[in-house]
Amino acid sequence: MSNKAAPDSVHQHSAFERRAVLRIGIAVLAAAAVWFRLWEPFPAVSVIGALALVFAGWPIFREAFANLFARRMTMELSMTIAIVAAAAISEWFTALVVTLFVLLAEELEHMTIARGRMAILDLVNFVPREARVRRDGEVVTLPLAEVVPGDIVVVSPGEKVPVDGEVVSGHSYVDQSRLTGESMPAAKEVGATVFAGSINQLGLLEIATRQVGPDTSYGRIIQAVEAAEHTRAPVQKLADQLAGYLVYVALVCAVLTFLITRDIRDTISVIIVAGACGIAAGTPLAILGGIGRAARLGSIIKGGIHLETLGKVDTIVFDKTGTLTIGEPVVTRLDAAAGIDETELLRLAAIAEFHSEHPLARAVIREAEARGIAATEPDDFRYTVARGINATHAGRLILVGNRKLLAEAGVPMPADGVPDQGSEILVAADGRYLGAVTVADPLRPEAAHAVARLNDLGLRTVLLTGDVARVGQKVGARLGIAEVKSDLMPEDKHRLVRAMTARKRIVAMIGDGVNDAPALTAANVGVAMGSGTDIAQESADIVLIGNDLNKLVETVLIARQTRRIIWQNFTGTLVIDAVGIGLAAFGLLNPLMAAAIHVGSELAFILNSARLLALKATPSEKKPEEKQHLAHASS
């Protein structure tokens, strides 16, 4: 029942000392209550009752006096008034049992909140403290603090990965569910990224270290959850204010009850029955539980205020490249001219693009390598801006570029056929048209499903992209996005997001690149993809580890559930207090019944918030593939 708005200075004892006093007090109260009930005529009952009351109720009285001196109205103060009033009229049994109920409530509250904090301890303790590192040809065990980027870390089957890095040797399946929420272990081969906090399942892996400790993805999750304990969302401030107001209401109602009825027992019942401890303790517990649950799904929320705001969002704004798409162009189609083999078309295109660093050129090279086509270096290479490449190889003149390049060279081409998606690269050799290579940035496989789920939640979806209108509209239509804005510069995205918020829309913007940073900061909630740039991740309020857009949907659901639970607690507290005060004022509740109602409602609201700490996934978090087994994945 401690007031969570009170500063740490109020709590003089350590957590261990406080809990010890509570346990002793509970035992003393239980014994004393039975004794006084059996031997109430005993003359020394007042002395014994007073001593037991002071000793057992000291944690309550101490907080009450500290809050009184700090001019804060808290539940401890109102309970102290009720207990002292009962003792003053020699209602020792009532005073002791009320104190017992209050202490029981405090102990159970501490146990529940401690369970929430255990989630943080579990996160912190999960990453190993040591790592086996290959140095000077030998594998040595070092403290994690001594591992630096570039070190080769060796991880055996069954061991936890201690660093973020890239596999340089071996292959295995890795359980990274604590970071990405994936139900099935992910296959890892040379070149694959692995995360600290994941568990190696099968083979030996050697990993080149990229990040260590707090710089890892797992480290950022821990920091976010820890920070959530120290950041206060507006709804937490509202909970503290409501708790204080209810104390004033209870005291005013108690005074009115006494003036009208002159019955001290009814007056005491009014003071006891009213309480807002459930919302004062349950609100931060719900915020902590929501952020912890999101972290287990692979979504880092950087504070309770962002979780609360996400629960109220009505508009989701997407960037395209790297967010709705993979972010890496690939060859999606080869259209060879009559009599030309696709392999020859791709080989000549790869030769011409050999020295180019353009993303489309890199896609052509990768596709050739994937098909086992040897792309050799051209004899001569010349790039023309906004046109393409002129190259020579083995005496042949190769042209790779757009229609303007081939038209200026006098190469006959088929009618203009704009691809449905992506960019068209035309290829010609020795004045003859050979065909076209279409390169596109493919949509993420889960993008359509994620957007559909967001639409089903009643959210308005918007796409802001720098691509031409044709590409933007096709992507929007394929994904079911309600509104598409194309041909945008970064400052245009920022302006449009600001305009939405100015119209009182609550906007979440999700992006991954440097050009998304201004829009991320302009939104009510900025969400960055885990594969995005450092600038985007620093600008964002939420970071998705694992780049799965379904995690955005799950995070929205968690935020809504958190907000719903908090308002359930608010509503329940107001209803129970109103009914309880009315019954007590009319003499229908004695102090013991009032204490039972007070404690019972408090525990109900705390346990309601504690539902968010459950490890079991909600139906919306489950996936069909969860029914599969690792043996099936590795077969």
Which residues are designated catalytic? Answer: 319
Please tell me whether residue 383 adopts helix, strand or coil conformation: strand
* 242-245-246 Cα angle (round to 5): 85
Q: Which residue has the tokens 């020699």?
A: 90
Q: What is the DSSP string of 121-171?
A: HHHHHHS-SEEEEEETTEEEEEEGGG--TT-EEEE-TTPBP-SEEEEEE--
CA distance 220 to 214: 6
Do residues 128 and 147 touch, judged by C-beta distance below 8 A?
no
∠ at Cα 564 (600, 120), nearest 5°? 80
Tokens of 386: 């906004």
Residues contacting residue 535 through CB under 8 Å, at least 6 positions apart: 514, 517
Instruction: Give the separation between CA 170 and CA 176, rounded to whole angstroms.
Output: 17
Chain centre distance of CA 444 = 21
Contacting residues for 304 by C-beta, under 8 A, at least 6 apart: 228, 231, 232, 233, 235, 236, 284, 287, 288, 291
Which residues 6+ apart lie within 8 Å of 17 measured at CB? none
- How far apart are the C-alpha atoms of 82 and 64, rounded to whole Å? 12
Q: Which residues contact 193 (CB under 8 A, 6 or more apart)?
A: 164, 165, 166, 167
Q: For residues 83 and 256, what is the distance between their CA atoms, to the nearest angstrom?
A: 19
End-to-end CA distance of the chain: 54
Read off the tokens for 174.
């890795």
Tokens linked to 40: 């109430």
The whole-angstrom separation of Cα 565 and Cα 571 is: 10
d(CA 453, CA 372): 40
In a 3-state reduction of DSSP, which class is residue 315? Answer: strand
